[in-house]
Amino acid sequence: MKLSSLTAHLSVIALLFAAAPVSQAQHDAGAGNAPGDGESRVSVLEQDDGTIVASDPSGTYLYASWNVYFASPFFMRNKMRCGQPFLLSDGGKQTYGSKNDCSYSSTNPKSEYDPAVQKFSIPVVVHVLMHTNGNGAISDAMVQSQIDILNEDFMALPGTNGSPGSDCQVEFYLATVDPNGNATTGITRTTNNNWYNDSGNYKSSLYWNTNKYFNIYTNTASGYLGYAYMPQQGGVVGNSIDGVVCNWRAFGRNSPYGPPYNQGRTTTHEAGHYLGLFHTFDNGCGTTSACYSSGDTICDTNRESGPVYGCPGNSNTCSSQDPFHNYMDYTDDLCMYEFTPEQARRLRCTVEYWRPNLFTSGGGSTLIFEDDFESGDYASGGWVTQNGKCRIHKKSAYSGAWGARLKRLTNVEKTFSTVGFSQVRVNYAAMVTNYTGTKKLLLQWFDGTSWVTVDNVQSSTFANQSVFLPAGAENNPNCRIRFKSKEKTKGSFASFDDVAVWGD
């Protein structure tokens, strides 16, 4: 019902509808938190009395509660089940490594991404945002129940609602150590009425290093059940905006909202986006002959032209049964129960090559060493520099205040022990500036005789890299790596940061 049609009945309007200012957060999605493209088409706010004001081009509406709002035509019409923001794609810029296997425009579900290869374990921090009236409060037990649901769904645990799906071998756990090295529950709580209403740039104040933690925020989510940025979108990975926002009433098992969105599948759905999955209906039906580069870029999800709601016995929009039991559709929580095998491979590719510093593998990877260069010098990290062209520089930082810089032809070297490990992986972020050739910033490993190039960074913007060292690097008391700049041009330099070496 439109506000304009009831102006003569103010007493009724007071109960059902109200006008309210539009949240600025919805105008500033790129710089702040909320989904959008810089123009506010939809605004949803919770008022101090708990009523919900919702506006779109058709009018302004007021709902007595979130339950009434979630059941409204407004919610359905504006597809508020998920507010996945749209940014420019990084896919066309990434032309190195295996990021191409799970780019923004295509999928190559190779066998190396099979879940049987290894388990990925991802640390989570949940930021609970609350109103001064008490709304938004979530107990530790409710937070843990949501982590449990993520594991039930991503690992298809027997005896759970997620058991019919594919085991992705991706597990989540509440972080036990915070960015400062202190013990933590993996849960933060903040009372701020604007932040509770998904307004204001709260992420920049609250986020933990998004390269190393999966940040989840709970508030009103701008009226959506949730939203998340895909890492394949431009400027996401390593940025404070990275992470998932969930409506607190739909968070956890038997959450306050009640059926049909009270079994934690909103977070599962948004975590799917966070790990590189599209909606099953994104880009329409696509084509069967080009299913890895059209539709949702997955061939084993049936084609679908639009979202399915509720839990129908049958739905067919593209000449086959719609995949309405998939976590990436819009159906009721208890109607969802699967990722497909190829979705599992795409999201695992995303973890490996778009979020390489986020996970430990095999359920037991060990950090051999890491250096974020915040000490301000190479010596503290045990690096050996070739000459004075190796510097620590603020403008070479990927995260924090400092990063490593190599000017023109120079290198910096590190020696460490890999005794007891059967394979060694190096994660880092890097970029080059004013380079002209094809050999730019090289990561090299010394095989005992000569330096072997294992990675070649050519990106002009920071890119996350993840590389396994060749056979011979394992179980080695004197494993040596170096970063080497290969450009002669005056004014050229290479930057790298957040180096982490893992052993399995």
Instruction: Dig out the tokens for 95 from the structure.
Output: 């032309």
d(CA 451, CA 474): 16
Q: Which one of 46, 152, 270, 487 is the catalytic residue?
A: 270
- At residue 264, the 3 state secondary structure works out as coil
Residues 6+ apart with CB under 8 A from 87: 30, 229, 233, 234, 235, 236
Do the Cβ atoms of 293 and 91 come closer than 8 Å?
no
- Cα separation of the two ends of the chain: 60
d(CA 112, CA 53): 48
In the residue annotation, 112 being an active-site residue is answered as no
d(CA 32, CA 34): 6
Q: Measured in whole angstroms, how far is the alpha carbon of residue 234 from the centre of its chain? A: 12
Question: Burial of 388 by CB count in 10 Å (0-12 exposed, 13-18 middle, 19+ buried)?
Answer: exposed
The DSSP call for residue 250 is: G
Question: Which residues in 88-235 belong to E strands, given as ranges?
Answer: 120-130, 170-174, 187-191, 214-219, 226-228
Q: Which residues are catalytic?
A: 270
